[in-house]
Amino acid sequence: MNTLFIGAGSMACALMRGALKSGALKKEETYALNRSNDMRMKELDEWFGVLRPGGGQSFDLVVLAMKPKDFDEAADVIRNHLSSKTVILSVLAGIPVSYIREKLGFQGGIARAMPNTSAALGKSATAVTLDRFDDRVMEEAVVHLLDSVGLTVEVEEHQLDLITALSGSGPAYIYYMAEMMQATAVELGLPSELARDLTIRTITGAGAMLEESGLDAEELRKNVTSPGGTTEAGIEALKAHGVEHAMFECISSARNRSEELGRQLIKTEKD
Ligand SMILES: NC(=O)C1=CN([C@@H]2O[C@H](COP(=O)(O)OP(=O)(O)OC[C@H]3O[C@@H](n4cnc5c(N)ncnc54)[C@H](OP(=O)(O)O)[C@@H]3O)[C@@H](O)[C@H]2O)C=CC1
Ligand SMILES: O=C(O)[C@@H]1CCC=N1
């Protein structure tokens, strides 16, 4: 499947890395372009051996992976690589399928997905909605590509803003927590490398328990929390400092921002 990534940043790279490694994409059929960062294109060539498209060359699959705010500006470039057989996979946060269709004048299949950067290791949690996929072969090819970089679930488009806030942005919340755990341990006296190693293994171990033990998060938490013990003291401190409220605000603010990103483009279009 001839595939073109338009946008060659973090998310495009994570998808390429995961899909090329799994064999869902072949490097001799994978192309990429960005706006101006030539160094990045050289890196992509070095890392993955992907190709640069010729002007007007059309593709079976075009992956939209620029920032949402850059989509309008990229529209001419995108159109240049579409044919009546092309399907589009968009990973743009907040941008509705209807807006992509209207802006590009595109009638074919559009998959709007929200993966995350763990795709690089085949561990993304991806949600996707498929619109006007008349061609079963291409539908299967797109789903296969997403499956090759992690878990894929099909959802309704209206759910994607909230899903973006949960699992699209989610890895960053965990990295932020890791940063804070590490920094606190160092501040309270542990050497940095030791704090780092123990934090990483604590998070990956807890992730593996969530995935493999068959127990839910609450039960796993209770198993660690001895009455009157250290964990209880720690969690009470988190509660007292409003962590539940903070998480509500975190996910709802990210959801609101996703909605706003779409509205902003639509508004700019109308102005
Ligand atoms: N990062 C993440 O964790 C996730 C991101 N996403 C979505 O993925 C998309 C990309 O995000 P991310 O990878 O983080 O962003 P980056 O800033 O890392 O990459 C953006 C890329 O788009 C390119 N670009 C910008 N304008 C144009 C243009 N006019 N024509 C061609 N290429 C262009 C940039 O090129 P140049 O560098 O030359 O300017 C760059 O390669 C966003 O829409 C985001 O919502 C979705 C899920 C997770
Ligand atoms: O921060 C963002 O807007 C993108 C979407 C999900 C993760 N990163």
For 5-21, what is each residue's pLDDT tens digit? 999 999 999 999 999 99
pTM more than 0.80? yes
**What's the pLDDT tens digit per position in 33-89?**
999 999 999 999 999 999 999 999 999 999 999 999 999 999 999 999 999 999 999
Residues 199/190, Cβ–Cβ less than 8 Å? no
Q: Where are the domains of the chain?
A: 3-160, 168-258
- Kindly report the CATH number that applies to the domain delimited by 168-258: 1.10.3730.10
Shortest-distance atom of ligand 1 to CA 11? 13
**ipTM for the assembly:** 0.99
Question: Is the C-beta atom of 126 inside 6 A of ligand 2?
Answer: no
Count of alpha carbons within 13 Å of 10, Cβ hemisphere only?
Answer: 10
Write out residues in the chain with pLDDT < 70, as ranges.
none
Report the pLDDT value the prediction gives residue 265, as an integer from 0 to 100: 77
Give me the pLDDT at residue 192, please.
98
- For residue 80, give the 3-state DSSP assignment: coil
Tell me which CATH code domain 3-160 carries. Answer: 3.40.50.720
Q: Report the distance separating Cα 140 and Cα 172, nearest Å.
A: 30
Task: Report d(CA 265, CA 92) in Å as an integer.
Answer: 12
Q: Answer yes or no: is 65 a known binding residue.
A: yes
Burial per residue of 4-38, b for 16 or more beta-carbon CB atoms within 10 angstroms, e otherwise:
bbbbbeebbbbbbbbbbeeebbeeeebbbbbeeee
Give the CA distances from residue 62 to residues 31, 108, 110, 123, 185, in Å, rounded to whole numbers and listed in that order: 9, 11, 10, 22, 45
128 touches 23 (CB < 8 A): no
